[in-house]
Amino acid sequence: MRLAVGSDHAGYHLKQELLAQLSKEGIPYDDLGTNSSESVDYPDFAHKVAEAVRAGKADLGVLVCGTGQGMAMAANKLSGIRAAVAAEPYSARLSREHNDANILCLGARVVGSGMALECLGAWLSASFQGGRHQRRVDKMERRGG
């Protein structure tokens, strides 16, 4: 499994903590920026990560901004992307199991690093359950989002 990871300025420090954990666990990733806490536009980084996932350069993506909401909205504009915001592990896990989320969005101003790491762990350890959930994911895809 390979991850594409990105953030804006608000999520930069939390992204660095997530990358350290991924490195510790031996999970390969591509850091698609930003590379500092200088102000940037989150849609640019959401698009980079979403495009990497959509193109198959990464299996999954992780995006971090202030709330996670902006990143999710921007990433979800790309066909085939199912970006989910999570602020606790239960929602993170179910976004994979029920919704086949392929990008996790976290809010650095909403969750602390400990909770963000728990969300990431729950999300990465989960897998899509298919079955009745596949029908619903198919409906999202047919309707363009």
Burial of 51 (0-12, 13-18, 19+ CB in 10 A): middle
Per-residue b or e along 55-86, where b marks 16 or more CB atoms closer than 10 Å to that residue's CB = eeebebbbbbbbbbebbbebbbebeebbbbbb
DSSP 94: H
Catalytic annotation present for 65: yes
- Residues 72-118: pLDDT tens digits? 999 999 999 999 999 999 999 999 999 999 999 999 999 999 999 99
Q: Which of 65, 105, 119, 133 is catalytic?
A: 65
Catalytic annotation present for 105: no
pTM: 0.96
CATH of 3-142, one of 3.40.1400.10, 3.40.605.10, 3.90.1170.40, 1.20.1050.10: 3.40.1400.10
Q: Which of 9, 13, 47, 98 is catalytic?
A: 98
- Mean of the pLDDT values across residues 129-134? 92
Residue 34's Cα: distance from chain center in Å? 15
